Amino acid sequence: MSQRVRISLDAMGGDHGPATVVPGAAIARERHPDTTFLMVGDEAVLAPLVAAEPRLRDGVEIRHAPLAVRMDDKPSQAVRAGRGKSSMWKAIQAVRDGEADAAVSAGNTGALMAMSKICLKMMAPIERPAIACLWPTVRGESVVLDVGATIGTDASHLVDMALMGSAMARIVFDLDRPTVGLLNVGTEEMKGNEAVKEAARLLRESDLPNLSYHGFVEGTDLGLGTTDVVVTEGFTGNIALKTAEGTAKQIAAYLKGAMGRTLMAKIGYLFARGAFDALKAKMDPSRANGGVFLGLEGIVIKSHGSASPEGFASAIDIAHDMARHDLMRTIRDMLDATPAATSA
Amino acid sequence: MSQRVRISLDAMGGDHGPATVVPGAAIARERHPDTTFLMVGDEAVLAPLVAAEPRLRDGVEIRHAPLAVRMDDKPSQAVRAGRGKSSMWKAIQAVRDGEADAAVSAGNTGALMAMSKICLKMMAPIERPAIACLWPTVRGESVVLDVGATIGTDASHLVDMALMGSAMARIVFDLDRPTVGLLNVGTEEMKGNEAVKEAARLLRESDLPNLSYHGFVEGTDLGLGTTDVVVTEGFTGNIALKTAEGTAKQIAAYLKGAMGRTLMAKIGYLFARGAFDALKAKMDPSRANGGVFLGLEGIVIKSHGSASPEGFASAIDIAHDMARHDLMRTIRDMLDATPAATSA
C-alpha cells in the first residue's frame, strides 16, 4: 500500500449518483486528508461538480466511463452490458490493477458482488463471499456477517466467515482477539441446524490465535453487543438486519406520534429537544453505512443506495480504515494460522 | 365446543409457576367471564392461591400433577419423565380428551412442542408444526410464523404455514381474506432460496379462496405491517423475532439514557410523561404474548417463560380467541379448499 490511501468511487451508483457521491467524498476528505480519489463516471457530469467543491481541489482524478449500471439491472445483465465499460466495473478494476486500495459503490448490490467476483476473484481457499456490516449496539458496534451475499451455507463457510469477520473486527475495534458468536435459535449445544452445530464444534476445537469463540448467540444479542463479531448465513442475516432497521423506524414513528399527541407532550419535547437529537443521531442509519465485501482479492465497500452524502462519507470512512490497516493481509495471516481441516 | 370456553393451564410452567399463572388467570377471567379453567399442578400449592383469589371463586378445577417439567429439561428428557405425570402433559391431555378447548403453558418450549406432538398428533396432511405470534406493527398487528418450531423447510411446508397463518389471521383480525407475504431477502422474483421461490409459485398459481397472496416481503415489512400474515422458516423467524425484541430494548436503553442526561431533558421528561407511558405500553412485550402452536390436532398456546401475570393473561386471551372461533375447524376448512398439489 502506498502512503496515501487511494479510493476508487463508482460515481454513478446509488439513487442519486454524483449528487451524493461528490459531496460525500468531500466530507470524507475533510476527515482523512491522506485520501486521494479516483472518480469513475460520466466525465461531463463529474468535472463541474468536482471543480465546484473546494475540498476536492487536488488529489482527485476523474476517469470517464460511458455506462452506468442501473439499480434494477439483474446482476447477469449488468455484467454482460457493463463489463469493462461501466463506472462500477472500472472502479473495481482500479483495485485489481493496483491503482486503488479500495472501491466504494452505492450501486445495485447484486451487480456489484457479481462484478467484484469476476474482476477481483475469490481469495483462496475462501469459496463464497460475505457482506459484513457494523451493527450499532448498546455497547458500541459489532461486525455482523453475512447480511446477504450468499444464500445457504455449510460449516466451513461459517468458519471462514468467523475468520474474515474477526480480521475486520481487529482493524475496526483495534482488538487482538475479538469474541465471535454464531447466531442461533438458542444458546444450548443441541440447538440449531447441522451447519451451525458443526461450525461451533470446529471453532471450539481449533482454538484459533486471533479469535475467541464465545458460543451461540441469539437475535437479542445483536443489539446488546454480546460479541464483537456475529456470524450467520446470508438469508437469515439479511432478514435480521432489515428487521432491526424496520423496528427502529417503527419505534421512531411511535415516538413521534406520542410526542405530538398532547400539549404537555409537545412542551416536554421542546425541553428535551437536545436529548431527542442525541437519540436521533444514535439511531441514524448513515452512521454505520457501508457493507464490506469479504472473501475477495481486494476491498470493495457497498454503500446504501439511498444514502445521504453523510452516509456515503461513512462508507468511504470504512474503506479508508480497511485499506489503511490492510484488511487483505490481516485476513491472509488469519487463514495461514488456521489448520486446513478447520477452514474450507 | 361447549358454550363456555374451557382452558387448561400448566400451572407449574414458566420462571415463576403458580405465582404468575394464578393471578394471570384471574386477570383473563375478568375480561372473559365465559371462561372456565382446569389448573394442573401441585394441588397443595395451588389450592390456597386459588382460594385467595376472588375472581377465581367458581369455574376453576384444580387437578393434581406430581411432576413439573423444568425450564432447562431437554425435550426428550421431559417427555420420558413427564409423560402422563407432569402438569404440562396433563394440561395438553385435557385438550386431547375433550375436557378443554385449549391449553396454555409458560413452560419450556421444546418440551411443550414435543409433548403436544405426541399427545395431540399432527393434523393430516400437515407434517411439521409451526409457532405463530402476533407481531406489533405501525398499522396494528400481523401474524408471523414460524418463530421457532421447525428448523429447515421446503415449499409445501411454507404453503401449509400460509394456510394456517391465514386461518389464525381470519380469527384474530376478523378478515375474510388476509394478505400473505413470504419473507425473503428482496421482493424480486429471482431472489431467495429454492423453497421460497417454489412456495411463491404455488401460492401465486393456486389462487386460494381465503388468502390473498401478496408476494415477497422483507425484514423491514414486519414492523410496517405490510401484510396480515408473514411466513418464514423457523430458524430465520426465531432470529427475526429476537432481533426485533433486542432492537426495541436497545432503543429503550438509548431513550432512557438520553432523557436522564441533562436537566432540560429531565424537565422535558416530566412534561411528556404521559406520552412516554403511552410509548412504553406500545412497546410492552406482554401485550402480544402468546405463541400459537399450529399444525396439531388441538390448540396449545405458549406464553413467554418470564411473562408477568398481565403477560400470561394475554396468552390466555389468545387461547380464548382461538377456541371461541374454532381455529381447528377454520384450518381444516382451508385445507379442504386447497388443491392437494398445492399443500403437502
| pLDDT of A1 above 50 | no
ipTM of the complex: 0.91
Instruction: Count how many residues are written for chain A.
Output: 344
Instruction: Compute the CA torsion angle B141, B146, B149, B155 (nearest 10 deg).
Output: 160
Superfamily of domain A128-291: Isopropylmalate Dehydrogenase (3.40.718.10)
DSSP letter for each residue of B116-162? HHHHH-B-TT--S-EEEEEEEETTEEEEEE-SSS-SS--HHHHHHHH
Tell me the CATH number of domain B1-126+295-325, given options 3.40.50.300, 3.40.50.12280, 2.60.40.1530, 3.40.718.10. Answer: 3.40.718.10
Within this chain, domains A1-126+295-315 and A128-291 share the same CATH topology: yes
A273 or B175, which is more confident = B175
A218 or A191, which is more confident = A218
In chain B, pLDDT over 70 holds for what percent of residues?
A: 97
Do the Cβ atoms of B251 and A248 come within 8 Å?
yes
Residue with cell 422535558: B268
**Whole-angstrom distance, CA of residue B196 vs CA of residue A130:** 21
pLDDT tens-place string over residues B132-151: 999 999 999 999 999 999 99
Tell me the CATH number of domain A1-126+295-315, given options 3.30.70.100, 3.30.390.30, 3.40.718.10, 3.20.20.80. Answer: 3.40.718.10
CB B299 within 8 A of CB B329: no
pLDDT tens-place string over residues A92-118: 999 999 999 999 999 999 999 999 999
CB A209 within 8 A of CB A122: no
Q: How confident is the model at residue B64 (pLDDT cuts 50, 70, 90)?
A: very high
Which of A251, A255, A259, A280 to mutate: most B Cβ within 10 Å?
A251
Question: Which is it for strands A179-183 and B60-64: parallel, antiparallel or unpaired?
Answer: unpaired
pLDDT score for B1: 45
Do the Cβ atoms of B272 and A251 come within 8 Å?
no
Average pLDDT over residues B263-271: 85
Return the beta strands (E) in chain B as ranges.
5-10, 35-41, 60-64, 102-105, 130-137, 140-145, 179-183, 212-217, 229-231, 291-294, 300-302
Helix (H) or strand (E) run with residue B28 in it: helix B18-31
Nearest CA in chain A to B281: A254
Amino acid at B191: K
CB B6 within 8 A of CB B325: no
pLDDT score for A173: 95
- Could you tell me the residue ranges of all domains in chain B? 1-126+295-325, 130-287
Nearest CA in chain B to A221: B246
**Whole-angstrom distance, CA of residue A78 vs CA of residue B72:** 52
What residues in A contact B272, CB-CB < 8 Å? 258-259, 264-265, 267-269, 272
pLDDT score for B285: 66
Shortest distance, CA A192 to any CA of chain B (angstroms) = 7
Radius of gyration (Cα) for chain B, nearest Å? Answer: 21
Return the beta strands (E) in chain A as ranges.
5-10, 35-41, 60-64, 102-105, 130-137, 140-145, 179-183, 212-217, 229-231, 291-294, 300-302
Do the Cβ atoms of A267 and B271 come within 8 Å?
yes
Do the Cβ atoms of A275 and B265 come within 8 Å?
yes
Superfamily of domain B130-287: Isopropylmalate Dehydrogenase (3.40.718.10)
Q: B330 Cβ partners below 8 Å, 6+ apart?
A: B167, B168, B170, B171
Q: Pick the range with the lowest mean pLDDT from A99-103, B44-48, B109-113, B189-193.
A: B189-193
Do the Cβ atoms of A185 and B151 come within 8 Å?
yes
What residues in A contact B183, CB-CB < 8 Å? 239
CB B36 within 8 A of CB B59: yes
Q: Pick the range with the lowest mean pLDDT from B208-217, B252-261, B334-343.
A: B334-343
Nearest to B23 by CA among B43, B61, B52: B52
In a 13 Å sphere around the CA of B106, the CA atoms on its Cβ side amount to 30
What residues in B contact A259, CB-CB < 8 Å? 272, 275
| pLDDT of B2 above 80 | no
Average pLDDT over residues A38-55: 97
B128 backbone dihedrals φ, ψ, rounded to 5°: -135, 140
Return the beta strands (E) in A42-162 as ranges.
60-64, 102-105, 130-137, 140-145
**Whole-angstrom distance, CA of residue A56 vs CA of residue B224:** 40
What residues in A contact B133, CB-CB < 8 Å? none
Do the Cβ atoms of A223 and B243 come within 8 Å?
yes
What residues in B contact A192, CB-CB < 8 Å? 151, 235
Q: Pick the range with the lowest mean pLDDT from A72-86, A130-144, B254-268.
A: B254-268
Helix axes B234-259, A234-259, angle to 10 degrees: 40
Do the Cβ atoms of B239 and A183 come within 8 Å?
yes
**Whole-angstrom distance, CA of residue A227 vs CA of residue A224:** 9
DSSP letter for each residue of B238-258? HHHHHHHHHHHHHHHHHHHHH
Rounded to the nearest integer, the mean pLDDT of chain A is 93
Do the Cβ atoms of A74 and B235 come within 8 Å?
no
Do the Cβ atoms of B220 and A151 come within 8 Å?
no
Q: How confident is the model at residue A342 (pLDDT cuts 50, 70, 90)?
A: low
Distances (CA, A) of B177 to A293, A296, B15, B155: 42, 47, 38, 21
**Whole-angstrom distance, CA of residue B68 vs CA of residue B107:** 9
A240 or B265, which is more confident = A240
Taking every pair of Cα atoms in chain A, the longest distance, rounded to a whole number of angstroms, is 66
pLDDT score for B275: 80
The three cell numbers of residue A184 are 442461533
Do the Cβ atoms of B239 and A239 come within 8 Å?
yes
B81 or A258, which is more confident = B81
What residues in A contact B136, CB-CB < 8 Å? 250
How far from the centroid of its chain's Cα atoms is residue B76's Cα? 22
